[in-house]
Amino acid sequence: MPVTSCSYGDYQDSPDAKVIIVHRPVRYDHSPAVLSSRRPFKAIQTPETAADGHLDLPVTIALHPPQPQPQPPSIPLAMTVSTSFRTLRAQVQSFTRRHDPETPPQIPLGYVVFLSILFTCIYVGVLYLHPLTRPSPKQSRDAPSVIRLRIRAVYTSCVITSVSTVYALAVLGGLDLWTSLKYMGIWPLNPLDVIKGLGLTMILFAGPLAEKFWLDRDPRDNIVMDFKTSVSSWIGWRNYIVGPITEELTFRSHILALHLSVPDPTLTTLVFFSPLYFGIAHLHHFYEFTLTHPDSSYRFALVRSFVQFGYTTFFGWFAAWVYLRYGSLWTAIAVHSFCNVMGLPRFWGALEGGMWRTAVYYVILVAGAVGFYHLVIPMTESDNSLIAL
Residues marked active site are found at 247, 282
Cα-Cα-Cα-Cα dihedral sign, residues 140, 141, 144, 149: positive
Helix then strand then coil, in percent of the chain rounded to 5, is 60, 5, 40
Amino acid symbol at 324: L
CB 193 within 8 A of CB 331: yes
What is the CB neighbour count within 10 angstroms for residue 166? 19
Instruction: Give the phi and the psi of residue 37 in degrees, each rounded to 5.
Output: -160, 160
Instruction: Give the phi and the psi of residue 36 in degrees, each rounded to 5.
Output: -115, 145
Contacts by 371-374, CB closer than 8 A, 24 or more apart: 371/203, 371/206, 372/200, 372/203, 372/204
DSSP, collapsed to helix, strand or coil, labels residue 137 as coil
- The rounded distance, in Å, linking the Cα atoms of 168 and 115 is 9
278 closest CA partner among 330, 315, 224 = 315
DSSP, collapsed to helix, strand or coil, labels residue 175 as coil
CB 211 within 8 A of CB 292: no
Cα 385 to its chain centre, rounded Å, is: 20
- The rounded distance, in Å, linking the Cα atoms of 201 and 331 is 11
DSSP, collapsed to helix, strand or coil, labels residue 198 as helix
- The rounded distance, in Å, linking the Cα atoms of 256 and 329 is 11
Q: 341-371: string of b/e by CB count within 10 Å (b at 16+)?
A: bbeebbeeeebeeeeebbebbbebbeebeee
- Angle, helices 329-342 vs 191-204, to 10°: value is 30
CB 277 within 8 A of CB 251: yes
